[in-house]
Structure 1
Amino acid sequence: MGFEEEEAIIRSYDGEADRARVEDLERRCEVGPAERVYLFTDTMGDPMCRIRNSPMYKMLVAELDKELIGVIQGSIKVVTVHGRPRDLARVGYILGLRVAPLHRRKGIGSSLVRRLEEWFIAKDVDLAYMATEKENDASVNLFIDKLGYIKFRTPAMLVNPVHCHPFHIPSNVEIEKIKVEEAEFLYRKFMASMEFFPNDIHNVLRNKLSLGTWVAYPRGESFGCDGQVPSSWAMLSVWNSGELFKLRVGKAPLSCLLYTKSSRLMDKYFPCFKLPYLPDFFHPFGFYFMYGVHRDGPLSGKLVRRLCQFVHNMAAKANKDCKVIVTEVAGHDTLRHHIPHWKLLSCLEDLWCMKALKNEFHELTKTPPQRALFVDPREV
């Protein structure tokens, strides 16, 4: 049996009055299914940090008897939807929905989502979408059963820990950092037809959190800035999410804890083996997000792996706070077989849900998935 909806006041976020209370709510609200891992978010004094880099954004709070009991965030951008550069849609992304534990199942979450959808509609948004874990029954029931969202895509979230031992990059592989202008040219040429490719990719690449774009190709071949590419090549960009917010694990499976302890002991007493181990996730940590991963050619799978190893080495050397490397690819994309990740830490079936806010976009929510999906780092 459900509960009656509470008559909460929903209004725009006020940084001066609400910042501390929203941060407190974040500390009390876990993310993730209880049977696996609880993640807690530390926004480091800026509760709007996850949406500030978007072209347009808004944050709403729910208040009851002067107590802040709920929060939601939303951002708006223009993306590719059909697979051709001219087929664009204005989409609204919903994230950061939190409701205080004592006020759940009382309609607060659905009220927050509906108010955010009203803002989307006022801003001429075509489609609203959100991402959650497939096992998050509360979120799935709210958006699909109650609010009319449709299961749209099931991408894979791949997570790889950062350890102290660097990977060896073979001498027959060339890895080169390219200029922002070159990266934008390549992305628009080779990836602009991907689902959800952001029309403002130039803003993503020029953001201070984007550490750069790298390409890998066989040594002895050349990579031209005019779009002439080698017989096999791969590229990706890196976003430093740890500069925005930190994560902390509040609960983990016993097997994970045992492996962490035993692997650290092995590394301490037998360092010559160079065994990877799980970092300390029980204190706040940052992460790098790899986006725009693309490959072409018969050797490109191996080149993707070398790029991922290069990013790992970069993280281990430059940022002691970075504990994991994360990326997300379409569920049917064979890229997942070439990106190093630990199944224990990864979510191989994330869930994207979508809702058409204009009649002409209803059919789009039912289209079969493309092989490739572009995940915007501003929405991680």
Structure 2
Amino acid sequence: MGVMDEAEPVKKTMLRVRGFDVERDLRAVEELERLCQVGLSGDQGSDPVADLDGGAKKTRSSKKKKGMSLYVEQIGDPFARVRHATDNVMLVAEYGEKDEVVGVIKACTRMVSRGKKQQSFSGSSKQFVKVACLLGLRVSPSHRRLGIATELVRHAESWCAARGAAYATMATTESNAASLALFTGRFAYAPFRRPVFLGHPVHRHRVRIPRAHRVLRLPP
């Protein structure tokens, strides 16, 4: 699929989105995850220096913050966050004549409850619905503002819709301006839940173990 480079309207570049191949793409995806750090796209309260697709305005920062690499999320398995779903996929975006991997996204479909039973016109109730979960959207810092994130999301949504997903959902932090601009702006996603995560370790305390239970020390 050909797209036009905004900086150079005359020059055509190639952007291709395809399925992840572990032998071909593993090293490139791992390197991409290392390049993407928490906090560089408006996350953790930092300035929105570079939006994924140009939704945030560039601002100057006197001191560049260095965040934690997102490579830790893979824990040695590129499909770690979607593997347990029956339908899952990982897509990569190649850019330019050298087929450089500059973007990645993961997606899966899951059956979720709609809460109260919904009565349809036919008289049957549909309490569950299939939902697309979009995860792990990454774009190389050197290739942002080129529409790569948009194409990755579109392909992921299409893949899930073809497998029966009626809705799509994603999760991000409230301070991630780039992600919010992309999903709530360009794709018109609506915020519906704000979960609270435990950000600090629980204080250590002793727990009495019933006599009927045994604690076994297992080898690593």
C-alpha deviation, 1:86, in angstroms: 5.2
Paired residues of 1:8 and 1:62 also in contact (CA < 8 A): yes
d(CA) in 2 for partners of 1:10 and 1:110? 11
CA shift at 1:157, angstroms?
A: 1.1
Deviation at 1:174, TM superposition (A): 6.7
1:117 is aligned to 2:146:
no
Selected match of 2:67 from 16, 22, 38? 38
1:134 corresponds in structure 2 to: 174
What does residue 80 of structure 1 align with? 113
> Which has more helix, going by share of residues?
1
Cα-to-partner distance string for 1:280-307 (whole Å, 9 max, x where unaligned): xxxxxxxxxxxxxxxxxxxxxxxxxxxx
Corresponding letter in the other structure for 2:23: E
Deviation (angstroms), 1:44? 4.4
Q: Secondary structure at the match of 1:71?
A: strand
Query: TM-score with structure 2 length normalisation?
Result: 0.70
The AA in structure 2 aligned to 1:73 is: K
Distance 1:145 1:55, change over 3 A: same
SS of 1:39 mapped into structure 2? coil
Q: Quick check: which one's strand share is greater?
A: 1
Q: CA deviation at 1:162?
A: 6.2
The CA deviation at 1:105 is 1.6
Q: CA deviation at 1:115?
A: 0.6
Measured on the aligned residues, the alpha-carbon RMSD in Å equals 3.1
Q: Note the 1:40-55 alignment, pairs <5 A.
A: 40=69, 41-42=71-72, 43-55=74-86
Q: Counterpart of 1:301?
A: none
Instruction: Please state whether the residue corresponding to 1:150 is helix, strand or coil.
Output: coil
Find the counterpart in structure 2 of residue 28 from structure 1: 35
2:79 alignment partner AA = M
Q: Which runs of 5+ in 1 are unaligned?
A: 178-313, 321-380
Q: In the aligned structure 1, how far is the partner of 2:187 from the partner of 2:131?
A: 17
| Inter-CA distance 24–174: structure 2 relative to 1 (3 Å threshold) | same
SS of 1:51 mapped into structure 2: coil
Tell whether the 8 Å contact from 1:72 to 1:96 is kept in structure 2 after alignment. Answer: yes
**Partner SS, residue 133 of structure 1:** coil
After superposition, where does 1:256-335 map in structure 2 within 5 Å? none
Number of the residue aligned with 1:334: none
How many aligned residue pairs are there?
176
Instruction: Indicate yes or no: 2:18 matched with 1:11.
Output: yes
Query: For 2:180 and 2:18, how far apart are their aligned partners in 1?
Result: 25
Deviation string, structure 1 residues 240-282 (Cα, Å, up to 9, x no partner): xxxxxxxxxxxxxxxxxxxxxxxxxxxxxxxxxxxxxxxxxxx
Change (3 A) 1:161 1:115: same
Q: List structure 1 segments (4+ residues) > 4 angstroms apart after TM superposition.
A: 173-177, 317-320
2:132–2:165 CA contact under 8 A, matched in 1? yes
Q: CA deviation at 1:7?
A: 3.8
Q: 1:9 to 1:88 in 2, by over 3 A?
A: same
Matched to 1:25, the amino acid is L
Distance 1:34 1:53, change over 3 A: same
Structure 2 counterpart SS, 1:160: coil
Counterpart of 2:78, as a letter, is P
Alignment counterpart, residue 91 of structure 2, candidates 60, 67, 91? 60
Aligned to 2:188: 148
Q: CA 1:104–1:319 in structure 2 vs 1: closer, same or farther (change >3 Å)?
A: farther
